[in-house]
Amino acid sequence: EADIYQTPRYLVIGTGKKITLECSQTMGHDKMYWYQQDPGMELHLIHYSYGVNSTEKGDLSSESTVSRIRTEHFPLTLESARPSHTSQYLCASTATQGNTEAFFGQGTRLTVV
């Protein structure tokens, strides 16, 4: 069973609001990731982290920001939501050593109206 959790599962919010999507894992993984996925499309990496106090931008440019103050927590923030931010956001983590499987959360489906 994957021990990685995202909240909320669904969020409908008005334009201009600040939002934070939560992601937590209890596996002690150092590496964590945020992917963005539009309906019927592939996942695109928008942020990742090697560990505490490490954040990097991914392949797809995003107006969101992330922080990594604790190993288990990797929240994503949008300062001012816009309709173009409507998408599904997926959080994942992997173990530090070697090349092992990634564990994904259930995702947050964000709709900005």
Partner 1 sequence: DAKTTQPNSMESNEEEPVHLPCNHSTISGTDYIHWYRQLPSQGPEYVIHGLTSNVNNRMASLAIAEDRKSSTLILHRATLRDAAVYYCTISSGSARQLTFGSGTQLTVLP
Residue (44 or 73) nearer to partner 1, CB = 44
Beta strands in 1-113 (DSSP E): 4-7, 10-13, 19-25, 31-37, 43-49, 56-57, 65-66, 76-78, 87-94, 103-104, 108-112
Residue (55 or 65) nearer to partner 1, CB = 55
Residue (41 or 52) nearer to partner 1, CB = 41
Choices 11-19, 64-72, 76-84, 100-108 (CB under 8 A): range interacting with partner 1: 100-108
Structure tokens at 80: 């001012």
Instruction: Assess 45 for contact with partner 1 (CB under 8 A).
Output: yes
Query: Residues 13-42 vs partner 1: string with x where CB under 8 A?
Result: ------------------x-x-x-----xx
Neighbours of 8 (CB within 10 A): 12
User: In the bound complex, what is the minimum distance in angstroms from residue 80's beta carbon to partner 1?
Assistant: 27
User: In the bound complex, what is the minimum distance in angstroms from residue 67's beta carbon to partner 1?
Assistant: 17
Measured CA to CA, the distance from residue 49 to residue 10 in angstroms comes to 24
CB 30 within 8 A of CB 96: yes
Size of the site for partner 1 (CB under 8 A): 26
The residue from 3, 13, 58, 67 that contacts partner 1 (CB under 8 A) is: 58
CB 103 within 8 A of CB 5: no
